[in-house]
Amino acid sequence: MTITLNNIGRRFNRDWIFRGVNRTFITGGAYAILGPNGSGKSTLLQVLNGSLAPSIGTIDFTFEDKPVEIDKVFTHLSLAAPYLELIEEFSLSEMVDFHFQFKNYKSGLDKKRVIELLNLPKSEHKLIRYFSSGMKQRLKLILAFCSDTPMLMLDEPTSNLDTQGVDWYLSLVERFAKDRLTIVCSNQEHEYGFCSERMSISDYKG
């Protein structure tokens, strides 16, 4: 998967959040988008995943050297983000079933293995509404990492995770982020330390 940004900018009302972004993201690369809270990292990520249109500039997506239409980008993408909602009326088991109606499991995985990897014993039939914030974050991450998609996008991935949860997240990176286009929005070194490519949103302020 390749994403190419050509002079991309986004503004709300008259205020530019960022502009003049020229960048190419390619499969196999791990990219960190850096900046303080409220700087526009999540907005840029939404442009990159096709859910938000740029105010200026163009964005092109290609997969296996073929163009991907903007309304089909989501089929190539797994996302974990604080603003991503879970269906709280579902149990953990039902949420996994529902998610994988739309995505394929990565090779060697199935529902049983995904729930094991989540490392939340005795929670399979617990309603998500009764999950702690950390448990919900773990669930968002495991669904994203274990989906067979060429793009993996992570926004503040260790939000609400304790030290043990951070180590668990890094183990998922080690196992499931290889050979994908991985983009991490963060202002915490431990979340993006594995990323070889880094860009600061502050470099693109108008």
Crossing angle for the helix pair 111-118 and 133-145, to the nearest 10 degrees: 140
Can you tell me the distance from the alpha carbon of 101 to that of 2, in angstroms, rounded to the nearest whole number? 25
The alpha carbon of residue 78 and the mean position of all alpha carbons in its chain are separated, in whole angstroms, by: 6
pLDDT tens-digit series, residues 122-177: 899 999 999 999 999 999 999 999 999 999 999 999 999 999 999 999 999 999 99
For the chain, the structural domain boundaries read 2-198
CB 124 within 8 A of CB 118: no
Q: How far is CA 23 from CA 46, 72, 141, 157, 185, in A?
A: 15, 21, 26, 23, 15
Q: Which CATH architecture has domain 2-198?
A: 3-Layer(aba) Sandwich (3.40)
The arithmetic mean of pLDDT across residues 73-89, rounded, is 93
Q: What is the pLDDT of residues 87-102, one digit of tens each?
A: 999 999 999 999 999 9
